[in-house]
Amino acid sequence: MALYQFLCGSTMMIILLSRGCHSQQPVCGKAVLNTRIVGGEDAPPGSWPWQASLQNDGSHFCGGSLINDQWVLTAAHCVPFINLGTVVYLGLQSLPGLNLNAVSRHLSVVTSHPSYGLATNVNRFDNDLCLLKLSAPVSFTHYIQPICLAAENSTFNTGVESWITGFGITDNGTVANILQEVMVPIVGNNQCRCTYSDLTGNMMCAGVPAGGKDSCQADSGGPMVTKQGSTWIQSGVVSYGKGCGLPDIPGVYTRVSLYQEWISSVIAGSNQPGFVEYTSAGVDSDQFFECPTTAPPPPTTPDGGSVFDSGESMIHFFRFPSLCLLVISLYVLGGA
């Protein structure tokens, strides 16, 4: 499929007409309707206006985040389930029923990170990132806004409060009908490697020691965000984990700040996403963390209060809903 770029002419013209070449999108990371944050429950309409839902035949299978008026960031492991009929929804508050503030777009370009899936001696989930170009730009409203992306020098220390959102599996074992939100702190990579020995620097972790708050299947590709002042910044993309919401088992996210150059090169032109540097205060305690010499007891399912399903077996898995995987696989194999 042919791609077209608008070039502003000679260097002299770029200098003289620089105002016309700049992106006209509003400031990123603004959620006007986000008046309160509560982890582990239904998100009020418009609280997370960058949230995207990837769907096949009306079935949600992955999340994503709007980063400008025509591009969505998601996980590369969602790509095998994208087909010509895949639709991206923005401004969606619930999966069933009428969503007056929602818009939908098909896809014109799907670009996974070139190093995803190529590693032979490191974590096979490394570079789990993908950019989706929508078939047409979207107009921004209170319910549809782009998220800022963490710039390359950003630091997210242990304990930084972060929020994950999605339509993934909840504690009743089904895909959420209403967009869910939950707050989780960052877990430093040194500590996270006690659980995931093959964790790479391209990844980051988040979770609570008691468990019960986590991303889960069908949250794949969705955003993990942190607020700096009045601006929301995306630090991670939901990637994988061992189970969901298990004690001392954090979820793993692709570290967005390490991909600024790649994202900018793929999108190209003047309509670049907003990159904002996030700087954590103080010294990161994770640099002094050492894994316990004795193995902790096997984790158990938390008692009640779980936001996301925690009954999965202790294996690495992408965060898809198993039922949706079956439906999509049958759809693809059947050539429908």
Express each pLDDT in 303-330 by its tens digit: 322 233 333 322 334 554 433 333 333 3
Contacts of residue 95, defined as CB under 8 A and 6 or more positions apart, other chains included, come to 53, 60, 167, 175, 176, 177, 178
Count the neighbouring beta carbons within 10 Å of the beta carbon of residue 4: 5
**CB neighbour burial string for 188-212, b if at least 16 within 10 angstroms, e if fewer:** bbbbbbbbbeebbebbbbbbbeebb
pLDDT over threshold 50, residue 39 = no
pLDDT over threshold 60, residue 128 = yes
Query: Is 128 labeled as catalytic in the residue annotation?
Result: yes
- Report the pLDDT value the prediction gives residue 213, as an integer from 0 to 100: 79
For residue 95, being part of any structural domain is answered with yes
Query: pTM of the full predicted structure?
Result: 0.81
Question: Active site residue: 69, 128, 214, 284, which one?
Answer: 128
- Report the pLDDT value the prediction gives residue 13, as an integer from 0 to 100: 31
Nearest C-alpha neighbor of 278 from the set 116, 131, 147: 147
| Cα distances (Å, whole numbers) of residue 202 to 229, 234, 258 | 26, 15, 7
Residues linked to residue 56 through DSSP beta bridges, in sequence order: 59
Q: Extract the runs of DSSP E, i.e. beta strands, from 49-202.
A: 51-56, 59-66, 71-74, 87-90, 103-105, 107-112, 130-134, 148-150, 161-166, 180-187
Selected residue with higher pLDDT from 269 and 78: 78
Domain span holding position 257:
41-276
Question: Active site residue: 53, 154, 162, 220, which one?
Answer: 220
Q: What number is the average pLDDT over the span 181-201?
A: 95
pLDDT over threshold 70, residue 331 = no
pLDDT over threshold 60, residue 207 = yes
143 φ/ψ angles, rounded to the nearest 5 degrees: -100, -10
pLDDT over threshold 50, residue 295 = yes
For residue 233, being part of any structural domain is answered with yes
- Report the pLDDT value the prediction gives residue 289, as an integer from 0 to 100: 93
- Domain total in the chain: 1
Query: Is 77 labeled as catalytic in the residue annotation?
Result: yes
> Alpha helices, DSSP H only, in the chain?
11-16, 18-21, 189-192, 260-267, 322-334
Q: What number is the average pLDDT over the span 134-162?
A: 97
For residue 269, being part of any structural domain is answered with yes
- Report the pLDDT value the prediction gives residue 319, as an integer from 0 to 100: 55
For residue 167, being part of any structural domain is answered with yes
Contacts of residue 294, defined as CB under 8 A and 6 or more positions apart, other chains included, come to none
> What is the DSSP pairing of strand 71-74 with strand 59-66?
antiparallel
- The CATH number of whichever domain residue 160 belongs to comes to 2.40.10.10
Q: What number is the average pLDDT over the span 181-204?
A: 95
Residue 18: pLDDT band (50, 70, 90) is very low
Given its phi and psi angles, is residue 194 left (phi above 0), alpha (psi -120 to 50 degrees) or beta?
A: alpha
Residue 209: pLDDT band (50, 70, 90) is confident
- Report the pLDDT value the prediction gives residue 26, as an integer from 0 to 100: 47
pLDDT over threshold 80, residue 285 = yes
Question: Active site residue: 77, 154, 257, 309, which one?
Answer: 77
pLDDT over threshold 70, residue 28 = yes
- Report the pLDDT value the prediction gives residue 114, as an integer from 0 to 100: 96
- Report the pLDDT value the prediction gives residue 192, as an integer from 0 to 100: 97
- Report the pLDDT value the prediction gives residue 7, as an integer from 0 to 100: 28
For residue 322, being part of any structural domain is answered with no
- Report the pLDDT value the prediction gives residue 158, as an integer from 0 to 100: 97
Mean residue pLDDT across the chain: 80
Given its phi and psi angles, is residue 263 left (phi above 0), alpha (psi -120 to 50 degrees) or beta?
A: alpha
For residue 25, being part of any structural domain is answered with no
Query: Is 285 labeled as catalytic in the residue annotation?
Result: no
For residue 310, being part of any structural domain is answered with no
3-state secondary structure of 280: coil
Q: What number is the average pLDDT over the span 138-163?
A: 97
Nearest C-alpha neighbor of 71 from the set 1, 124, 147: 147
- Report the pLDDT value the prediction gives residue 221, as an integer from 0 to 100: 96
- Report the pLDDT value the prediction gives residue 311, as an integer from 0 to 100: 31
Selected residue with higher pLDDT from 64 and 301: 64
For residue 120, being part of any structural domain is answered with yes
**Sign of the C-alpha dihedral computed for residues 159, 129, 48 and 267 taken in this order:** positive
Q: What number is the average pLDDT over the span 195-224?
A: 89
